[in-house]
Amino acid sequence: MGNHSAVRRRPPDLGQVLARMLAVLFVVAVAVVLGLLLTGRDVPPPEVTAPPRASTAPAAGPVPIEDAERAAVLSAAATATEQVVEQVADPNALMTPRYARIYRRTVGSDADPAAHATVVGTGLVGIDREQADVLVLLDRTDAEPENVLVHLRRDRGSWRVDDLAPLTAPAEHLDEPDPTRGDLLAAATQAAAQEVAGEVLAAGVATYDTTTASVLAVTEDQRLRVAMRLVDGTWRAKVSALEPVSAD
């Protein structure tokens, strides 16, 4: 047998192979895009996942205040105001600790007897789950009638007086959380202001049902009762003056 020189083939250069493959892929991609453009078709955009949408559920409104709770507030305000003005109140039973300290400092054991007081009207000005503001109308023997704004707080499971001040100017107070009653108060306040051509210092709901209500309002020198009636979705007002009641 003759001698044959062995010829070894060199392995292919991997870099050259990859370069040729990429070149082929590039040519194919360009051809596809050109074909789409020439045929008038759009190149489809890449798919994008939309971000999750925020919840559009309405925020929870204020917790409704039951009628029984409102009645309890008016009753507590009337009882406490009479006894505070007459200086016979039991601070532990009727007042928050803060106001009890103020009351004890103000009313000493040697205080002169106060004039007898009679509550002739109460109206709920504003309320939430823990606080309430009440307009209280007082008549007194041998003294001028007095209009008082009473602030109450829920304390030890009961409504107790946390502040009590004569109404001599418009005072800050809680809002009425119920929209219907809020509209009622706004309409009654406007009617009272128009009746006396003056500023209403405070107004509160004395009685209420779905179609009729009574609102008490006070100005600098007058007490007013506003009888409200719901007619075709609008509150109609009839304003009358409140005369002092004998406190004997």
Of 174, 24, 148, 27, residue with least CA distance to 83: 148
So what's the pLDDT on residue 16? 55
Answer whether residue 20 is part of any domain: no
pLDDT digit string, tens, across residues 78-93:
999 999 988 899 999 9
Give the CATH number of the domain where residue 200 resides: 3.10.450.540
Within 13 Å, how many C-alpha atoms sit on residue 168's CB side?
3
Rounded distance, CA 109 to CA 145, Å? 25
So what's the pLDDT on residue 109? 56
Answer whether residue 53 is part of any domain: no
State which residues form the domain around 215.
67-241
Answer whether residue 17 is part of any domain: no
Predicted confidence pLDDT, tens digits, the chain (248 residues): 444 444 444 555 545 544 565 454 454 454 544 454 444 444 444 444 444 444 454 555 667 899 999 999 999 999 999 999 888 999 999 999 999 999 998 886 555 667 788 999 999 999 999 999 999 999 988 888 899 999 999 999 999 999 999 999 998 999 999 999 999 999 999 999 999 988 999 999 999 998 999 999 999 999 999 999 999 989 999 999 987 655 44
Q: What are phi and psi of 212, to 5 degrees?
A: -135, 155
Residue 102 CA, distance from chain mean position: 30
So what's the pLDDT on residue 36? 46
Answer whether residue 61 is part of any domain: no
So what's the pLDDT on residue 112? 62
Answer whether residue 228 is part of any domain: yes
Q: Are 91 and 104 in contact (CB under 8 A)?
A: yes
Answer whether residue 124 is part of any domain: yes
H helical segments located in the chain:
14-38, 67-85, 91-94, 97-106, 179-196
Answer whether residue 94 is part of any domain: yes
pLDDT digit string, tens, across residues 217-236:
999 999 999 999 999 989 99
Beta-bridge partners for 132: 127, 152
Answer whether residue 113 is part of any domain: yes
Domain tally, the chain: 1
3-state SS class at 212: strand
So what's the pLDDT on residue 140? 87
Q: Are 166 and 144 in contact (CB under 8 A)?
A: no
